[in-house]
Amino acid sequence: MKIKNLISVKVFIILILLQVLPQTAYSQISEIVSAVTFSESKEGQPLSVRVDLKQVSQINSVTMAYRNLSDSEFKLREMELIGSSATLVIPGDEILVPTLTYYVIIQQTTGEEVAYPEGYPSMAEPLQIMVTAVSQKDKEIVVLSPAPGELVPLEDMFISISFIKAPENVDVSKTKIELNGVDISKMALVAGDLIIFYANNFPGVAKEGAQNLNIEVFDKEGKSYHKIKSNFQAAQGDYYTSLSTKFKYLANVEAESRNENFGGAAIWYNNLTANANGSYGDWELRGYAYLTSEEDKKLQPQHRFSVGINNTWLRLRVGDTYPRFPDMIMDGKRVRGVSGALELGYFNINATFGEIARGLEGSIIETYPSISALGENIIKVDSAKYGNPYAKVNLGTYNREVFAVRPSFGSGENFQLGFTYLHAIDDKNSIELNTPKENIVAGTDLKLAFDNQNIIFKTQASVSLHNSNITEGTFTDEDLDSLFKSDDGSLSGDRDQFETLRDLLGNFMTVNQFIGPINPEKLSSLGAEAELQLSYFNNSVRASYIYRGNDYQSFGQDFVRNDVKGLNVSDRIRLFDNRVFLLFGYEKLEDNLQETKQMTTFFETMNSSISYFPRNNFPNLTLGYSTFKNYNDIDTLGEFSTDDITNRISAILSYNFIAEIRHNASFNVSTSTREDNSLINADAKYTSLSLSVNSFWNSDLASFLSLTYYKSEISTEPYNYTMLSLGGKYQMLDDKLELAVYLSPSFGDYKRQSFDFIGQYEAMKNLRLIMQIRFYTISGQSANSISGLTLRYDI
C-alpha cells in the first residue's frame, strides 16, 4: 500500500469536500452537537454535511432538516450515525442559490427530541449557509486532467487546463498554478489555449498521496479573473497498476476508546469501525461495520453494518440501509434489512424490506382494577401477570417491520411514472406494554420534462390507511354477525358492506374497528403535491401545490406535515453571468382541511433576496428579507387563536482574500421580530451576529477565529451571550504529526469555557493515531470532559 489513508475514491471526495472549504457552525450553544460542518456549497453540486456529537450514548438517531429559500417545507433526512458523527450527502439537485436553511433533530434514547440550534422552533431560529452559483467561468476554463478525485500514476501524472472557451481578455500566460501549495506556474508549458504540466519533468515536485490543485486565472490587466480548486490522488506506478487490475479493494479499520464525563457521570465507549470497498469492472462492493460497547438490547440499535453491491443497473444493500422512495412515503429512513433497485431505464423497480424499530418493552407505573376510559398511556394489561386489568405505563416500542416497493417506467430524465406501495406492521408478540399498529400507503408519482429540461412537471399522490390496534386481528364472520346483529336477531345491511370491505382490504392489512381514517370521504388520508418548473430567459419559475389530509400518515416517513394545503410560487432570476441573483417567493398554506379544529389557520410567507457573487476580489454577499404571517379565519380572540407576524432580515458575506497570506472570512447577521397579537402574546426578538476568519499562514499552519453574538427576547424574557472561538492547526515532522487546539469561552447568560485538543500522528505508513481531548465547564455545573484515542489502519 503506497497511499496514505486511501479509502475509496467516493469517500475520498466526500472527505476532501469537507476539508477544502468547510463551513463549520461551532458557535451555537448545544449540549449534544459540537459542530456542523458542510463542504463547499455550490448550486447543483452534492453537499456533504457532518454533525459532530457529544453524549452519543443518549442519541438514537439524527435527522437533518433543510430547505432552499424558495422551498415551502423542510426536507428531513435521517443521517448515517457512526461513532460520534452523523453524516449525510444532500443531492446536488436540492442545492439552490442563495441559501440553505437548516436545523438538526436529535432523537434521544428516552424518545425525547431536541433540536440544533437548541430551542428551535419556538425559542430559536434555524441556521443558514450561503450557496454560491456555478459560474459561467467554470465552463470557460476547464481542468481537463486529472478529473476530480481521480487516481493517477505518479510517473504519468500531468495537469492540463483548457482555455479554449475563455474570452479574449484572459491572459493564459499569467495563470498561477499551485500544487499542494507549491507554485508550479513556471514549470508548465503553454500551448495556445492549453496549459500542461508534466510531473515527470520535475522530479520531487509531486509526491504520492492526495493532491490539492489551486488555479488562479488573470486577465490581460493582471486582475484576478477566476479561481479553480481541484483534488486528485497520485500513486506509484506499481501500486496504481495493482489498483487497476482485477479486483480492486481498499479497506480500513478504526478502533476508538473514548471517555465522556458529563456532570460527574463517566461513560466509556469502545468502538470498532471497519470499511471495505472493492470493485470488479462495473461492479462495486461496499461494506462497513460499526460495533460499539453502547449496543444494548434495551435501546434502539447502536451497532451499524451493511454490505452493498452495485453497478450501472443494479443496487443491492443488506444491513442498515437508507432507502429512498417518493418523499411523502419513505425518504432515507433507516431500515435494517434489504434494499435494492433494478434500474433498466425503461423499467425499474426499487424495494426494501426490514426492521425500522426494535422491540423495547415498556414498564408499569401503576395498575388499576377499573378505569373510566383508556388514555394515551393507560392501557389494558394481562391481569394474571400484573394483578389488575389496567395500568398506567411507560409505553414500549414494538418491533416494526416495513416492506416497500416501487416499480417505475422511464429513466427519469424526461419521463418516469412510478407506483409505490408500503406496508408497515408491529410485531404483536414483541412487547406487551403498548398497542400494536399497522399502516399501508399506496401512491403514484410522475415526472415529465420537455425542451431540454426547461419545462419540468412533477407530481405525486398517496393514500394511507392505518390501524391503531391490531391486537385482536381482523374481524371474523362471527365478529361481524355479533357487531351488526339487531335486537330482533336480524343482521343489518351494513354488515355486508363491511364484509366486502374486510375481504378487500383484509388481503393487505388488519381490518377491525380501529381502522382509519374515519372520514375517508373528506380526503383525510390523501397526500398530494404537484410542481411545475419553467426555466427561460434567466428566470427559474416554480409553482407548486400541496395537499395533505389530517390523517395521512406513513410509518416510513416520520416528518410529513399533515393537515395542510396551499400554493407556493417563486422566481429566481439570474443576471450578469450568474453573478447577481434575485429571488422572490410567496406561499400561502392553510390547515383544518377536514374541519377537525375550531378554526382554520393561514400561514403566509414572503421571501426575497438578492445575492452578488463577484468571484473576484470582492465578498460574496446575500441580503434576505422574509415575512411569516400566521392568522385565523375569525376575528374573535380566543384561547386557540393565532395572529402573529415575523419579519426577518439577514445578511451573509463570505470573502476569500489574500493579505500577505490566504484568508477565508465570513460574516453573518440575522435579526427577526415576531409580533404576537394572540392571547399568548409571545412576542420575540432575535439577533445573531457571527464573524469568522480562517487564515492559512503556510502549508503547515492555519488559524481559526470566530466571534458570535446572540441576543433574544421571548415574551419579554431576555437571553444574551457572546462566544469567542479561536484555534489553530499545525503540521510537523514531515506532515506526520498534526496538532490542533481550539479555545472557546462564552460570556453573558450562557457561560462556558471550552478547550479542545486533537493530535494526529502517522505512526506507520498505514497506521494513524488520533488523540482527542475536550474539556469544558458550564457555569453552575460540574466540569465535563471527553477524551479519546483512535487507531486507524489502512489495508
Binding region for another protein (CB under 8 A): 140, 142, 144-145, 156, 158, 160, 162, 164-167, 191-194, 196, 198, 241-242, 244-246, 280-282, 345
- Residue 123 or 455: which CB sits closer to another protein? 455
CB of 307 to another protein, least distance (A): 22
> Closer CB to another protein, residue 36 or residue 188?
188
Give the cell for residue 787: 477524551
User: For the residues of 216-263, what is the DSSP string, one character each?
Assistant: EEEETTS-EEEEEEEEEEEE-HHHHHHHHSSSEEEEEEEEEEEEEEET
The overall longest dimension of the chain from CA atoms, in Å, is: 103
The nearer residue to another protein, 388 or 411, going by C-beta atoms, is 411
The sign of the dihedral angle between the CA atoms of 745, 746, 751, 757 is negative
Contact between 620 and 612 under an 8 Å Cβ cutoff? The reply is yes
Q: How far is the CB of 210 from another protein (least distance, A)?
A: 21
By C-beta, is 121 or 192 nearer to another protein? 192
Three-state secondary structure call for residue 448: strand
- Grid cell locating 281: 469492472
Backbone dihedral angles phi then psi of residue 680, each to the nearest 5 degrees: -65, -35
- Name the minimum Å distance from CB 471 to another protein: 53
CB of residue 670 to another protein, shortest distance in Å: 40
Phi, psi angle pair for 481, to nearest 5°: -55, -45
The CB-of-355 to another protein minimum distance in angstroms stands at 37
Of 152 and 723, which has the nearer Cβ to another protein?
152
Q: Please tell me what DSSP assigns to residue 147.
A: P
Q: Which of 530, 375, 540 is nearest to 454 (CA)?
A: 540
- Distance from the first to the final alpha carbon of the chain: 7
CB of 10 or CB of 485, closer to another protein:
10
Single-letter amino acid code for the residue at 528: A
Distance (Å, whole) CA 634 – CA 632: 5
Cell of 62: 439524527
Burial of 622 (0-12, 13-18, 19+ CB in 10 A): buried
Q: Least distance from C-beta 172 to another protein, angstroms?
A: 10
Q: Which lies closer to another protein via its Cβ, residue 164 or residue 365?
A: 164
Amino acid at 551: D
In the numeric block, the cell 414498564 is attached to 363
CB of 227 to another protein, least distance (A): 18
CB nearer to another protein: pick between 158 and 793: 158
Cα 116 versus chain centre, distance: 13
Report cis status (omega within 30 of 0) of the bond before 301: no
Closer residue to another protein (CB): 201 or 698:
201
Of 249 and 586, which has the nearer Cβ to another protein?
A: 249
- For the CB of residue 407, give the shortest distance to another protein in the complex, in Å: 20
Shortest distance in whole angstroms from residue 236 CB to another protein: 13
Round to whole Å and give the CA distance between 674 and 48. 33
Task: Quote the least distance from Cβ 577 to another protein, whole Å.
Answer: 14
